[in-house]
Amino acid sequence: MLANAGIENPALDVRILLEKASHKAAAELIVCDNDIVPETIQTEFHELLGFRLAYEPVAYILGEKAFWTLDFKVDGNVLIPRPETEGLVEHALTLMRDMTAPHILDVGIGSGAILISLLHEHKQATGVGVDISYAALNIAQTNADQHSVSERSTFIHSDYLEGVSGKFDVVVSNPPYIDDRAMTKLPPDVDLYEPELALHGGSDGLVAYRTIIAGLRDVLHPGGHVVFEIGHDQKRKVFDLLKQAGATNIDCQQDLAGHDRIISATF
């Protein structure tokens, strides 16, 4: 049914949904492969399957998504964390390696996956997450509580840097970067369910980068770093914006698929 609906990885999705319905891990399902499925589990499984056939993302159906080394609560108010964004966390940790107690700003916190992962890895780090969505801030706070970093994190309602005060050692952001044309070609599970606010970056996809970069000197300590996730075809344009703002050490890392994905710079 899922394959006929054009859903990618249908076998994987079915296994995950059956794990959810049966409350069994993958290994347990293999062990009881020949067992008759109880009617209550059948009912729940087919309900979950119906959600997926309507293209609802598996992460929203489950209410959580694994990212880096942690599980994060997610719903339709926040972008689902992607594997390629783990490269942002990895690169930020490299930049923070020799910092004793780095202060981090996450612009567009969403579920909190980036900031919370960094705080979980660097036990002396502190952080501030900002978002224009109150619902996203509530989810980020829930995830910070779940992963025991709430005492080292603060969440602020802000349109990018407008409500931010103080100075930071590292600014991280996975901002909305999809342009008008690409927004019309999104797959249905993204188009129908994920928040447009976290996806649409304006006509050319660069509105968020322009806005954030313009204010970086006000929020970064001298010698501080910014780390962005970008669209696969945006390297040159974001490089140019950073150069025009006076940034140095501008660098780009590729994701596992070989696409330009993570840009960092120093101010």
> CA 167, CA 220: separation in Å to the nearest integer?
5
| CATH code at 65-266 | 3.40.50.150
**What DSSP character marks residue 57?**
-
List the chain domain ranges. 10-54, 65-266
What is the structure's pLDDT at 78? 98
Nearest to 242 by CA among 258, 218, 264, 220: 264
Q: What pLDDT, on a 0 to 100 scale, did the predictor assign at position 179?
A: 96
pTM of the model: 0.94
Residues ≥6 apart with Cβ < 8 Å to 52: 2, 7, 13, 17, 58, 61
37-69 confidence digits (pLDDT tens): 999 999 999 999 999 999 999 999 999 999 999
C-alpha span between 201 and 173 (Å, rounded): 13
Mean pLDDT over all residues of the chain? Answer: 96
